[in-house]
Amino acid sequence: MIQYILRRMIYVLPTLWAVVTFVFFIIRLVPGGPAMAVLGSYATAESIRELEKQMGLDKPLIVQYGNFLKDLCRGDLGKSMITKRPVSSEIAKALPYTIDLTIAGMLIGIVLGIPIGIMTALKRNRAPDYIGRILSLVGISMPEFYLGILLMYLLAIKLDLFPVLGGGNMSHLGSRLHHLALPALTLGIIMTSFISRMVRSSMLNVLKEDYVRTAKAKGLKERVVIYKHALRNALIPTVTVIGLYASILMGGSVLTEIIYSRPGLGKMMVFAVKDRDYIALQSVIIVFSAFVFLFNLLTDLLYGLIDPRIEYH
Amino acid sequence: MKVSKHGLFFLVSLISIGIGFSSPALAQEKVVREALKASDIRSLDPHYGTTTIDYACIDPMFNGLVRFKPQDINPEKIEPDLAERWERSKDGLVWTFYLRKGVKFHKGYGEMTSEDVKFSLEKAANKATSGFAGDYAALAKVEALDKYTVRLTFKSVIPSVLGILTNYHGGYIISKKAYEEKGDKFKFDPIGTGPFMLKEYIPKEKLVEARHPDFFRGKPALDRIEFWFMPDASSREMAFRKGEIDLVEGEREQAWVKKMRDIPGTAIEIFGPGETLVLHFNMSKKPLDDVRVRRAICHAINIKELMAFLGPDVTEPLVSVIPMSYLGGTDKVPTYEFSPEKAKKLLTEAGYAKGLDLSMVITEMSDYRRPMEQVQEQLRRVGINLKMDVITHTAFHEQIRKDVNPFVLYVAARFPVADTFLTQFFHSKSIVGTPTAVTNFSHYNKIDDLIDKARGEVDLNKQKELWAEAQKKILEDAAALPLCITRFVFSRKVYVDLGYEMRSTLNLSPPIAWTTDSKKK
């Protein structure tokens, strides 16, 4: 398995390079630049050019690209063009907020989505199934910024259960969880909708299989049939969906972080795009891409745990 | 269903832990929490701060030699701050400032002296270390005559020497020792003399400033200020409703004002100088190189309707391209009455009897986009079909400097002296596309002599006459059309006492002064 993981890691390098190269050039093609963001809209053309020179933007694009790759190979992500702080330290500060949010959103999705999916499959075409399907459809259809505002209004303002501001004190577990609850619930509800639909559909397929009928015929208890025989097999496509949506969830953190003022990676990315902070944007994209790779790898490894027939070559 | 129960139990436990162990409230502290429409600050080096959030965070930490009163931007009422008094030579070229003694910098950086003033002003005038160097182009030298006396010598007379030495842009005084020690890090760890000093900065989330115990005017009433970076309007509103935010930047829309007024315990602050909305006609290209087409557009726009659309509480009339409240503003200029008939007649005379198709880019920002959509509809009524492409704000600023638009709607607040507006928007040196370009989108070049003459004029009345003449010429030539002023809107919890009556500020948000207090129970 170690060999498999190492091979996957080597395979990911060209993908990362392609993503980074694409972002490097595309962001520079978009009109606007970081110098004006720093100097403000009434800066003279001369002072903008002066600052662009200081930022190294006067050099040919290919030279800038070469320098960027050289620094990247050394593990140096560079300094933000706007704040002048090392991007790696900015990412290190922002990352925990996004990781907290993604993991919590996924946990909520898994913890609620799987049981709901099983229940709606078992009670097919009955009231719990209809209610579950309608709710999951609402969850999928509702934009996260709207759901976020709605939850904020209900749970923070009307019921006064949670704060609406910021990421809380990261060194204080209680404060951290308290501030995480609402944003995580926002993403968690969406994740729950996706997972429950997938589990329901997989379960319905599996429940028709011969081995399930056989298990029932053997006189096994309903619970054993469902959890040992049916669910385990239904989980393979579900894990694929969870892996896929984990990446989407991370991307979804952008809007959630803005709504709840969490200083995470998503907010950092929006700021970088807005101010054309090329260096910061490239670095955030690298981190996001690395996480997508990690989620895909974890998904593949989980297959083996769920289904021992799967081998890694 | 065992898994489900366990899952729910786990979730409830997590939330309960959160609620049970959330940070203890520091009820005894006097704090004001302000939320601004921003994702983050760009710089706390006052010589680079250019956004509303930068201004808001910088102002409580620094002072200038002189200052605007917190609530008033009238340049004729500038008063002493770090300087106790000053003298100027008869020719207006040499100014001597006598500094206040015993003013302390934050965090043990010592007493503010003439060396700090010399260092700060020279830094502000240097292109490599300041975004406002252009304002100090006439400054020849700064001399520290003794520990508490500074002499400034200018190459030529400028309209408002005190203006460039106020608590605004390059006028802020910083600690020389701190800047030399911190270098690039000064940008996010600044040292000034203001009533509050930097305590904590969490990028993309908030900035906290704590009371400066040695502030020279007295002990600040607040213990702390928190500036929250909240780009989303709904989130700001929710946080304000919940009471987690005490002062919030609003949307410049009537609906927002009405909605916030209905929240109990809320005061609405609507203040100036606001931002001018001016259409700058590109006179270098067809068809707007023809004055008849420009005048037709002027007659086609119903400004009253536009102001009603934007909201009566948040707008005020703008007669000339410079607001009346600015030094040198005037209302004695030609105006263009709303008359679709005249507009159509002028278009026919110019050879566009069948109408005209124009296309332009506009920023996504609602401050620009909403009024422009109204203008688009009004122009359509006289046969001018305006196609608008909505692009990002950064891209918009680049595109309009490349002359892609037949006319540019520009929303601006500037230093409240006519010279600033006239130079940046109507002097030939500022024409976009030239090396010295600023924001002359009209390519207008007919009032250079008036601007230059007024700048060197020492008699204020004569200076005002020259500025008025320049404005009259701009409107006669229809180089630009003033639409209106949109005022800044904030909501404040009534327990926050700003310590002054908010009328106008160059900060673009209510300044947190040393007298600002919170009476929250």
| Count of CB atoms situated within 10 Å of the CB of A179 | 28
Provide the pLDDT for residue B5. Answer: 46
Quick one: closest CA in A to B424, which residue? A42
Which of A110, A164, A173, A238 would you mutate first to test chain B, the one with the most B CBs within 10 A?
A164
Give the range among B16-25, B225-234, B477-486 with minimum mean pLDDT. B16-25
| Count of CB atoms situated within 10 Å of the CB of B189 | 15
Q: Considering only CA atoms, which of B485, B277, B290, B302 is closest in space to residue B406?
A: B290
| Gyration radius of chain B's alpha carbons | 25
CA distance A198 to A204: 10
Cβ-based burial of A31 (10 A; exposed 0-12, middle 13-18, buried ≥19): middle
Q: Are B390 and B362 in contact (CB under 8 A)?
A: yes
Q: Considering only CA atoms, which of A32, A107, A45 is closest in space to residue A275?
A: A32
Question: How close B460 comes to chain A (CA, Å)?
Answer: 26
Q: Are B161 and B83 in contact (CB under 8 A)?
A: no
Model confidence at A19, pLDDT cuts 50, 70, 90, reads confident
Q: Considering only CA atoms, which of A258, A253, A287 is closest in space to residue A271?
A: A258
Contacts of A262 in chain B (CB under 8 A): 205
Residue A231 has pLDDT above 90, yes or no: no
Provide the pLDDT for residue B20. Answer: 46
Tens of pLDDT along B280-338? 999 999 999 999 999 999 999 999 999 999 999 999 999 999 999 899 999 999 999 99
Model confidence at B27, pLDDT cuts 50, 70, 90, reads low
Residue A232 has pLDDT above 60, yes or no: yes
Peptide bond into B273 cis (omega under 30): yes
Residue B449 has pLDDT above 90, yes or no: yes
Provide the pLDDT for residue A292. Answer: 86
Residue contact B241–A33, C-beta within 8 A = no
Residue contact B235–A270, C-beta within 8 A = no
What letters, b where the CB count within 10 A reaches 16 and e where it falls short, cover B352-382?
Answer: beeebebebbbbeeebbbbbbbbbbebbeeb
Residue contact B235–A43, C-beta within 8 A = no
Mean pLDDT on B183-187: 90
Pick from B127, B229, B391: which is nearest to A50 by CB?
B127
Tens of pLDDT along A145-195? 899 999 999 999 999 999 988 888 888 899 999 999 999 999 999 999 999
Q: Are A295 and A247 in contact (CB under 8 A)?
A: yes
Pick from A38, A94, A161: which is nearest to B48 by CB?
A38
Provide the pLDDT for residue B190. Answer: 97
Residue B16 has pLDDT above 70, yes or no: no
CA distance A229 to A211: 8
Provide the pLDDT for residue B3. Answer: 42
C-alpha distances out from residue B112 to B59, B99, B130, Å: 17, 9, 21
Mean pLDDT on A26-54: 79
Residue contact B131–A156, C-beta within 8 A = no
Residue contact A180–B18, C-beta within 8 A = yes
CA distance B185 to B511: 25
Beta strand pairing status for B206-211 and B196-202?
A: antiparallel
Task: Determine the number of helices (DSSP H) and then strands (DSSP E) in chain B.
Answer: 14, 21
Residue contact B21–A178, C-beta within 8 A = yes
C-alpha distances out from residue B467 to A3, A188, B74, B455, B474, Å: 78, 61, 17, 9, 11
Mean pLDDT on B190-216: 96
Provide the pLDDT for residue B18. Answer: 46
Residue contact A261–B229, C-beta within 8 A = yes
Tens of pLDDT along B48-57? 988 889 999 9
Residues forming a β-bridge with B67: B79
Give the distance, in angstroms, between the CA of residue B451 and the centroid of all CA atoms in the same chain: 23
Residue A287 has pLDDT above 50, yes or no: yes
Give the range among A12-16, A67-71, A198-202, B495-499 with minimum mean pLDDT. A12-16
Residue A79 has pLDDT above 70, yes or no: yes
Pick from A163, A258, A274: which is nearest to B232 by CB?
A258
Task: Determine the number of helices (DSSP H) and then strands (DSSP E) in chain A.
Answer: 13, 0
Give the range among B1-10, B313-322, B453-462, B483-492 with minimum mean pLDDT. B1-10
Higher pLDDT, B99 or B18: B99
Residue B60 has pLDDT above 90, yes or no: yes
- DSSP, collapsed to helix, strand or coil, labels residue B77 as helix
Question: How close A39 comes to chain B (CA, Å)?
Answer: 5
Look up tokens 């979804």; give the residue: A252
Provide the pLDDT for residue B93. Answer: 94
Provide the pLDDT for residue B26. Answer: 46
Contacts of A169 in chain B (CB under 8 A): 23
Which of B205, B240, B259 would you mutate first to test chain A, the one with the most A CBs within 10 A?
B205
At a CB cut-off of 8 Å and minimum separation 6, what does A28 contact?
Answer: A61, A278
Quick one: closest CA in B to A231, which residue? B3
Q: Are B472 and B227 in contact (CB under 8 A)?
A: no
Which of A150, A177, A180, A196 would you mutate first to test chain B, the one with the most B CBs within 10 A?
A177
Tens of pLDDT along A97-121? 999 999 999 999 999 999 999 999 9
Model confidence at B13, pLDDT cuts 50, 70, 90, reads low
Mean pLDDT on B91-99: 95
CA distance B50 to B35: 17
Q: Considering only CA atoms, which of A39, A37, A16 is closest in space to residue A283?
A: A16
Mean pLDDT on B13-34: 62
Contacts of A179 in chain B (CB under 8 A): 18
State chain A's mean pLDDT as an integer: 87
Question: How close B94 comes to chain A (CA, Å)?
Answer: 27
Handedness of CA B356, B362, B366, B371 (dihedral sign): negative
Contacts of A260 in chain B (CB under 8 A): 235
Give the distance, in angstroms, between the CA of residue B2 and the centroid of all CA atoms in the same chain: 60
Question: How close B308 comes to chain A (CA, Å)?
Answer: 28
Residue contact A31–B399, C-beta within 8 A = yes
Q: Considering only CA atoms, which of A292, A299, A293, A284 is closest in space to residue A254?
A: A284
CA distance B204 to B414: 27
Question: How close A147 comes to chain B (CA, Å)?
Answer: 12
Contacts of A119 in chain B (CB under 8 A): 1, 4
Which of B9, B21, B31, B394 would you mutate first to test chain A, the one with the most A CBs within 10 A?
B394
Quick one: closest CA in B to A276, which residue? B394
Residue contact B131–A271, C-beta within 8 A = no
Give the DSSP H or E segment for B386: strand B384-391
State chain B's mean pLDDT as an integer: 91
Provide the pLDDT for residue A313. Answer: 64
Which of A42, A100, A112 would you mutate first to test chain B, the one with the most B CBs within 10 A?
A42
Q: Considering only CA atoms, which of B62, B175, B43 is closest in space to residue A39?
A: B43
Residue contact A45–B187, C-beta within 8 A = no
CA distance B407 to B296: 13
Quick one: closest CA in B to A122, which residue? B1
Quick one: closest CA in B to A265, which residue? B204
What's the token pair of residue B209?
A: 């400033």
Residue contact B239–A165, C-beta within 8 A = yes
Question: How close A65 comes to chain B (CA, Å)?
Answer: 22
DSSP string covering A51-82, please?
HHHHTTTTS-HHHHHHHHHHHHHTT---B-TT
Contacts of B244 in chain A (CB under 8 A): 163-165
Residue contact B20–A174, C-beta within 8 A = yes
Q: Are B517 and B221 in contact (CB under 8 A)?
A: yes
- DSSP, collapsed to helix, strand or coil, labels residue A17 as helix
Model confidence at B17, pLDDT cuts 50, 70, 90, reads very low
Residue A209 has pLDDT above 90, yes or no: no
Quick one: closest CA in B to A31, which residue? B395
Quick one: closest CA in A to B36, which residue? A261
Residue contact B40–A271, C-beta within 8 A = yes
Residue contact A47–B7, C-beta within 8 A = no
